[in-house]
Amino acid sequence: MVYITSWDEFVERSVQLFRADPDSTRYVMKYRHCDGKLVLKVTDNRECLKYKTDQAQEAKKMEKLNNIFFTLMARGPEVDLSEVTGKEQTDAQPTKRGRGRKQ
Q: How far is the CB of 103 from another protein (least distance, A)?
A: 25
12 or 59: whose CB is closer to another protein? 59
Q: Length of the chain in residues, anyone?
A: 103
- Residue 92 as a binder of another protein (CB under 8 A): the answer is yes
- Phi and psi of 75, rounded to 5°? -100, -20
Quickly count: other Cβ atoms within 10 Å of residue 32's Cβ.
10
Query: Residue 40 — φ and ψ, nearest 5°?
Result: -115, 145
* CB-neighbour burial class of residue 65 (10 A; exposed 0-12, middle 13-18, buried 19+): buried
CB nearer to another protein: give 14 or 103: 14
Q: From residue 20 to residue 39, what is the string marking binding to another protein with x (rule CB under 8 A)? A: --xx-xxxxxxxxxxxxxx-
Positions touching another protein (CB under 8 A) are: 5, 22-23, 25-38, 52-59, 62-63, 66-67, 69-76, 92-95
